[in-house]
Amino acid sequence: MADARDAAPEHAGAWLLPVTRGALAIVPSVVITFSQDHSAAFGLAVFGWWALVAGVVVGALSARLVADRLARWTFVANGVITATAGLVALWLAGTPSAGVGAFTFTVAVWAAITGVLELFAGIRARGRIAAARDWLAVGGLTALLALVFVILPLDPVTAVGLLGAYLVVAGVLLVIGGLSLKWAASQPAGSGDAASGSERS
């Protein structure tokens, strides 16, 4: 996702953030894929544990690895919101109200807020920060998830399956984007120009 022609990340370890986000997203997608239980309570529990862990880890990593001040605090806020949504989902999973309505509402509200915030960070940083393209892609995907959950009448199996599909797509995008950032940062400055110059000669 990230292009080597973009500005190099300001922190050498900036690639760790998207790779960690991606790995954390892929884990619950695998759990959903191989589970026979696609009930709303199961969906709330999986989303809750993922959101709680991912929110804390991503929020902490963002505070250390995102150099741009506004983007850093945007992702820290996203981490707090995600962890809070996880706690709410885990609480709902253990109550009699753990139906498809509670599941879709919780995921939709989380996705709408965090998706818009990530889109904002990506739009603001476009052309200046190498990871901006990944923020735009994942932010747009997350906002789309919110729209789908709000607009379409979903049964529990479909809703939980859509969450799993979102997590695997977002996870793969983030891992690819993070590795692209790593490779771009490790490429010696001017190597592309030197190569093109040798071809011309």
pLDDT confidence band for 155 (50 / 70 / 90): very high
- Residue 98's pLDDT is what? 87
pLDDT confidence band for 33 (50 / 70 / 90): very high
Question: Residues 104-145: pLDDT tens digits?
Answer: 999 999 999 999 999 999 999 998 888 899 999 999 999 999
pLDDT at 201 over 50: no
The residue-averaged pLDDT of 35-53 equals 96
Rounded to an integer, what distance in angstroms lies between the CA atom of residue 99 and that of residue 155? 10
Question: Residues 57-71: pLDDT tens digits?
Answer: 999 999 999 989 999
> What are the extents of the domains in the chain?
16-183
pTM: 0.86
Rounded to an integer, what distance in angstroms lies between the CA atom of residue 160 and that of residue 165? 9
